[in-house]
Structure 1
Amino acid sequence: MNKATLTTVPMTHKLHEGRNEPILDPDLAVLDAHHHLFDRPALKYLMEDYLRDAGSGHRVVASVYVETRAFAWTHGPDVLRPLGEVEFANAVGTLCATGAYGPARVCAAIVGYADLREGDAVAALLDRAMAMAPDRFRGVRQPCLEFRNPDGLRYAPNPPSPGTLDSTGFRQAFRHLGMRGLSFDAAVLHHQLPQIAVLADAFPNTTIVLNHIGIAEGIGLHATGRAEAMREWRKELQDLARRPNVMCKLGGLGMPFWGLGLEDRTEPTSYLDLAAAWKPYVEAGIEFFGPARCMMSSNYPVDGRSCGFVPLWNALKHIVAGCSFEEKAALFHGTAARVYRIAL
């Protein structure tokens, strides 16, 4: 693997594309179950940017902040440095809870970072984070993406270390989550889903939230390879869904890892374009987990590589247009509110 292969691709984006689209189902309350804020050379996306998107037509009432290792402290023990990001997100949540910045309670819940390879040392991080943001800190995420195709590494700003899920300290650290009523957001690729199933069986009382429907890794594959990846993904996703302590986030489909190529389109991408590409994946998640264990998410601004905020939510609403009122309520706000303990 040469150095050029590992060079991260700059985040070109379509953040504002499609704002002229009519808003589908505008009264439906949306709790965005997964988004980020950060300030990087390739893209700056902070509170005011998310608020601008949240106010673009869809009725976004609250959001869940998910780590990207942004704003980490530059001092102290490495295991505690993620507290800087929790501190930042909690400040945003506090500001937005006042209502002075609009109706969207951005960062109403926080999923922070923890290096679970550190074993029992993670306990101090969790306790400090809970004390720092007692009304918002709900769990941790440690991306464990292990790419079969190295092309995927080019789009990963924080490439994980191989073998994280099987590392010596991981389960020692993981047990501290359940002891504190915290959840684990699992960011993996489809061939790693059996590992998450084993983890869910070992810790049945700890909630695991599968990010991005388990990402069927299709990047760099031709049609036959992508079809095989899809078959493997469906099989493993259905098996994982048999674990009642696993929830599923429906989103992240704008990332290049799926191999859908939406990020390469030069013409505007409408919600109908997105819905056509995303429908098989979203429907599979709902089929296997059910609306009560699924939650919709923007994964913004990362999914902005492929689409604007308005068409993204229009597409998700269009895909589930045939669902009942109760099912839509669960998908768009109810499940996330329950899992992340957000009062609406």
Structure 2
Amino acid sequence: MQRRLLQSVERLARLAQRDAGLPAIQRALGEELVAILGVDQAHVVVLSGGQPAYGVVATDRAGNGGAPPGADEYVLRRDDVPDALRWVADAGQAVTIPDASVDGALPAQLIKAYGLVSAAVLPLNAGGTVRAVVLLGARRPRAWAEGELHTASALADLAGTAIALRDARLAAAIDPLTGCLNHGAMRERLSEEIARARRQGTPLAVTILDLDDFKRVNDTYGHGTGDALLRHVAEALRAEYRSFDQVARYGGDEFVVILPNVKGPRVDIAAARALRVLREIHIARPDGGHEGITVSCGVAEWVEPEGPAELLERADQALRGSKAAGKDGLVRAPTPSAP
């Protein structure tokens, strides 16, 4: 047991050293908790906007965790029902759930999908804040020994260190003017989302938005006004989209929005929302008047076996089509022909 615990510690420590992505950290922690504690399943659910959002579950090798052996991913549906995951995220303290069937104890989505009967939920701290919650789950009634919770907390702390180092690296990848992801960080995040979509068989889309005639704004009103406009656009986009969508500054006056789990008409609707909210932005003129802005937009849905470069290129071609059609509009990239 002690030797296996040391192996777990070494594995989680290596994640911090090699700058692992968030899904890899979640998966590794879940797998180590299952192996060390012998539980049916271990969920690691990261927070978005302070609420549990993205989960990875690891199950025992025999598949007794209620899901296929190995690891699986899910997105928690948002509702207004409080539960233990939210309480732990807010309070930063562990709690045990003797009976998961009690209304509001755990998300109904997880109880149904994984057959949870009892559970323990612990906070995962990174950089001084709760960044995720760990759910140890069982498909039968069981008690949770203090030693088990102590071991789980220690391993979660190691994973938290890996997440904190990843956060520090990403902080260096934030565009200082707009607060959005910069170009390089956007490509890294898009790679992660493509990998997620490939594993889960879920849709993914990207939108590229370009401010029409932005050079004229700089030439007419000065670069200070242009910079303020870019900040306003970034804030409006972040406010408009879901907490787990990603807004990035692609370069200059271009922005990219990564849209997980969106396909078909919903892609066009999401892009049209951006155009609508950005058209409400106005530039204050020196004479006291106001001048509106327009935006051109290109959207593309991910298709296998595309990588980030191919997906962005199709969205960029659609954007160029919007510009050629007279600006202030939306063009959808056609689905590429099968090879």
Same fold by TM-score greater than 0.5: no
- Where relative contact order (Cα < 8 A, 6+ residues apart) is larger, the structure is 1
Higher strand share: 2
- TM-score of the superposition, structure 1-length normalised? 0.25
